[in-house]
Amino acid sequence: MTQDRPQVRYVSAGAGDDGQRIDNFLLKQLPGVPKSHIYQLLRSGQVRINGGRAKAERKLVKGDEVRIPPVRAADKAQTARPPDAVLNALRAAIVHEDEHYLAISKPAGLAAHAGSGVPYGVIESVRAWNKYEFIELAHRLDRDTSGVLLLAKTRPALLRAQRALKHGEADKRYFALLVGKWRGEDRDVDAALVRNRLQSGERRVQIDEDDGKPSKSRFSPKARYRDATLCEVQIFSGRTHQIRVHALALGHPVAGDTKYGERSDNKPLRDLGLKRMFLHSHFLQLPAQGDFGKLLLNAPLPDELRDVLDRLPRPR
């Protein structure tokens, strides 16, 4: 008896796919297939749009016929349905919903999306509700960061949010507990960042003014403690690990950050009950644009972080 083999598929782009890049369309059509393989399929010409080859940045138009070559599905462990407990927890974490957007106060420890060694994230969980014809992440949050995560329910809403975030038109703010005593008031960090892979295979972000991408953060102290400072951080760009690396550059790493912080700094905080990185996206605002009104989102600090603040020693 032979196993069923994957077959060539022809999929028509619907209204919700209009304007979407073909690489992102394929990532949805082929869940669990690595990005590297998606791009290999495109480079080799195995993916066709209306019979012709297509580059990764090609945008679909409603009615386009996409040829998807045979690709063996990922194993069940990679595409597992999120547990009901996760689905229910995210329903309870909704902070806003309208005809265009869904906003969730993402818990720390849950990824925004599935990836290597991560079978599901927020987007896979929301899709498992089977409630929306179209739902996409408008941006990302690190797995260990909590707070406002915006999802779009239509492609125009997605593009509007992405444009605002990309061009610095959005107001995005975090609460971060920083190690050490803060001197003075607001401080800006304007330092280009680049992602590197170390010899160990670990990925780290570093400041590199020659090869990095521009990034700017503003740190504003909100509460001062004996050995730490609670800051509100406004970011004017959205680079990977931006706040964490900029905080380190100021000499005040984010509390609980095991990648960029020092173990000796984090141990006293763990003794006070900090079991995660103290970084929370608490505010996101998108300006009015075209048919879209201003969008204002808030997510209060979770109890686990408030409890840590209550235990922190005050300045002598």
Active site residues: 142
- Residues 231 and 309: their CA atoms lie apart, in Å, by 12
**Dihedral sign, CA of 102, 105, 110, 115?**
positive
Q: Do β-strands 65-68 and 136-137 pair in parallel, antiparallel, or remain unpaired? A: unpaired
- Residues 167 and 237: their CA atoms lie apart, in Å, by 8
Helices (H), the chain: 22-29, 35-43, 84-92, 122-127, 155-166, 242-249, 263-271, 303-311
Q: Which residue's structure tokens are 């394929």?
A: 26
- The candidate with the shortest Cα–Cα distance to 31, out of 78, 95, 92, 63, is 78
Task: State phi, psi for 280 to the nearest 5 degrees.
Answer: -140, 125
**Dihedral sign, CA of 109, 257, 315, 273?**
positive
- Residues 124 and 17: their CA atoms lie apart, in Å, by 18
User: How many Cα atoms sit within 13 Å of 26 on the Cβ side?
Assistant: 30
- What helix, strand, coil percent values describe the chain, rounded to 5? 25, 30, 50
Per-residue tokens: 92: 């309870």
The radius of gyration of the chain's CA atoms, rounded to the nearest angstrom, is 21
Helix (H, G, I), strand (E, B) or coil at 108: coil
